[in-house]
Amino acid sequence: MVNLIPAPLHCENLSGTFSLDDSLKVKSDFDLPLLKLQREESGKLIIKKDTSLSPESYTLDIAQDSIKICANDEAGAYYALQSLRQISRYELGQRTVACCKIKDKPRFKWRGLQLDEARHFFGKEKVKELLDFMFFMKLNVFHWHLTDDQGWRIEIKKYPLLTEIGSTRSSTHINGWGSTEIQHGIHSGFYTQEDIKEIIEYAEKRNITIVPEIDFPAHCAAAIAAYPWLACREIKRGVAYYFGSSIPEKILKIKDWNRTICAGKSKSVEFVFDVIDEVCDLFPSKYFHIGGDEAPKDEWKKCPHCQKVIKDNNLKNEEGLQGYFNNLILEHLKKKGKRLIGWNEILKAHNIDKSVVAQYWTPQKDKNAQKHANSGYDIIMSNHKSFYFDIPYAQYPLKNTYNFKTESYGISSLNAPNILGVEGENWTEWTNCTEKLQMKLHPRMEALAEVAWSDNSLINWKDFKHRLESFKDYYDYFNINYAVDKISQSKNIFHRTRAKKLFFKGDTDYEFKLNKEYRKQGLR
């Protein structure tokens, strides 16, 4: 096996090497604008279109006198080049590559990574860096969490206060879910529609689809701060600076705050449709994520508008009201050629349209999600114990990501085709800078890439660790603050117990600081 992540479907090592130099020329059937090589009919790097291959798949033949790539589409050609880039180690100073033959194709069509910029805003240059590394790892879906209680990060021209007010909070909750500590100081930032277009174009060139997440009906406190009439009761509040649905009342003693918009007011529904229209005009993706999770319904129980909708439509209860509300959005999206994605809690409403794509995140098994997939409907696996990258390695070590098994979550092998794919989640409540994001993301991102791309028969923890050790040279080259083995694969009970305890209340940066010390010691 070559030192390549994700592992290729088939690799045959051959004798000899091909010499690489800056004068290498390419002959290609594809345009490939990202390929910065001179084109020439006599080029030794030959890229051929082969319609017999499936989308995104490729073959890569490295002989002593030439390199030949075959692919059905540009994506497959680019992925072959990413494999060549990695095994040649040209960027790392190597000038020869061992001869071999590789046949490769993806396991899942949805190979996703999410970034939450509502809690902490990183900006477009950092997003582009992330997209570049996703491309390197053959990940092809960027799930962009752009709105939440703590910030609205996308310009909506019809509702300018969403960014004028909703993108800025006065303070930030720190030191864990059980903490009462607040760091005072403005946190702000949003993307203009021109910024969004620029990033979408950047992603498309790298075969990455961007799926926007605009949360409805809950996680809307920032929107309600901008337009209080969105809620059942119009209570003036600033953008939320605290994290978690139970924190304001139970920990910080803040009462009367709204995070769920009114599902009964026609004006609120009109707002949702208006926002969706502008977002859909920007994003060509056929998917639209509405979140739909963690929706408190106490306000709906007391709201005459919500109760009227429940009565008029013969709904069982407030859960049925959310199903009704979600179905309105789903139908609106259908007219635009889009499919609705929601976190698996939306399946609690048994009147929900089954064409919804459920994103299965919960740590515990969810019978509704299992039934959805086993009944022939689409699902994305983002299960907490394997794919929540914001959680300390002490709680979810790297092996959790690598050893993910779809069958562990009650989805039969017969219904495995209903799994669109897998996705890693980067929630940023406690991740306020790039260095911290990188440490939580790497090497989990590489493990995710292998689970998403490589055939299940190739999943081998010992072999992956060997290839990862070689891959760490790329972390150093790109100046990435990765988690060293003593963090990502720790068996130290004291460290693991302390890190988990502090993450809840006390010091969410414990592993980050410890990792820094290990890096100073030269550990990998």
* pLDDT digits 0-9 by tens, 362-406: 998 899 999 999 999 999 999 999 999 999 999 999 999 999 998
User: What is the predicted pLDDT for the residue at 244?
Assistant: 77
Amino acid at 338: K
Cα–Cα distance measured from residue 385 to residue 394, given in angstroms and rounded to the nearest whole number: 12
Could you tell me if 508 and 176 are in contact, meaning their C-beta atoms sit under 8 angstroms apart? yes
pTM: 0.97
Partners of residue 188 on adjacent β-strands = 168
Secondary structure class of 316 (helix, strand, coil): coil
SS3 assignment, position 56? coil
User: Which H or E run contains 470?
Assistant: helix 461-477
The pLDDT tens digits along the chain (524 residues) read 799 999 999 999 999 999 998 899 999 999 999 998 999 999 999 999 999 999 999 999 999 999 999 999 999 999 999 999 999 999 999 999 999 999 999 999 999 999 999 999 999 999 999 999 999 999 999 999 999 999 999 999 999 999 999 999 999 999 998 888 899 999 999 999 999 999 999 999 999 999 999 999 999 999 999 999 999 999 888 999 989 765 655 655 666 678 899 999 999 999 999 999 999 999 999 999 999 998 999 999 999 999 999 999 999 999 999 999 999 999 999 999 999 999 999 999 989 999 999 999 999 889 999 999 999 999 999 999 999 999 999 999 999 999 999 888 888 888 889 999 999 999 999 999 999 999 999 999 999 999 999 999 999 999 999 999 999 999 999 999 999 999 999 999 998 999 999 998 889 999 999 999 999 999 99
144-168 pLDDT, tens digit each = 999 999 999 999 999 999 999 999 9
pLDDT of residue 248: 59
Residue 250 pLDDT = 60
Supply φ then ψ for residue 389, to 5 degrees: -80, -10
Q: Are strands 147-148 and 151-152 parallel, antiparallel or unpaired?
A: antiparallel
Residue 364: the pLDDT is: 87
Residue 134 and residue 210 in contact, taking contact as beta carbons nearer than 8 Å: no
Catalytic residues: 148, 219, 294
How many angstroms separate the CA atoms of 332 and 334, rounded? Answer: 5
What confidence score (pLDDT) does residue 413 get? 82
Q: Which 3 state secondary structure label does DSSP give 204?
A: helix
Do residues 208 and 141 make contact, with C-beta atoms less than 8 angstroms apart?
yes
Expressed in angstroms, the distance from the first to the final Cα of the chain is: 22
Non-local (6+) Cβ contacts of 66 within 8 A are 18, 44, 45, 46
For residue 301, give Cα distances in angstroms to 215, 232, 305, 321: 21, 10, 10, 10
